[in-house]
Amino acid sequence: MHFCAKGLDFEPAYNLLIHLILTSASVETLLPQVITNLSTPPSFPQGPSISVAILSTIFNIIPEHPSLRFQVFRTILSIAQEHNLYDYVSPYFDSVNEWLDEWKVKPEERSQVWAIIISMAEKAEDRYHLSELH
């Protein structure tokens, strides 16, 4: 049972850490390390979905840091692709072009993002998004 408690404490602990970082003068230094740490989800069963949830929280509370938002978004996509969490990310696909424009993403990186999204949609056999993406 102790193992499960660690899983239950994981998200609240990270939310506290994120709050402390955002109130510090070192957001640009500390937050990338948190994002990197979350890119390898914890090993408990819900680890990947909890990592995506925490990264989504970060994504939503740092609009003034476009380069960090792009890093968070790429990390969310990577985890979702690796752990078959397509349903967690597919509702946001309609906003991707707007976000990529906002973040001034280079064409090569933009293509990489869309390649991942298309690959995930194909694997999930999401005909709705596939017809819009092609």
Q: Does the pLDDT value for residue 97 go beyond 70?
A: yes
Q: Which residue has the higher pLDDT, 6 or 31?
A: 31
pLDDT band (50, 70, 90) for residue 124: confident
pTM, whole model, 2 decimals? 0.86
CA dihedral 114, 115, 116, 119 (to 10 degrees): 120
Q: Does the pLDDT value for residue 128 go beyond 70?
A: no
pLDDT digits (tens, 9 = 90+) for 33-77: 999 999 999 988 899 999 999 999 999 999 888 889 999 999 999
pLDDT band (50, 70, 90) for residue 31: very high
| Residues ≥6 apart with Cβ < 8 Å to 123 | 84, 86
Is residue 64 a contact partner of residue 50, using CB atoms and an 8 Å limit?
no
pLDDT band (50, 70, 90) for residue 100: very high
> How far apart are the C-alpha atoms of 128 and 83, rounded to whole Å?
21
Q: Give the start-to-end residue ranges of the domains of the chain.
A: 2-133
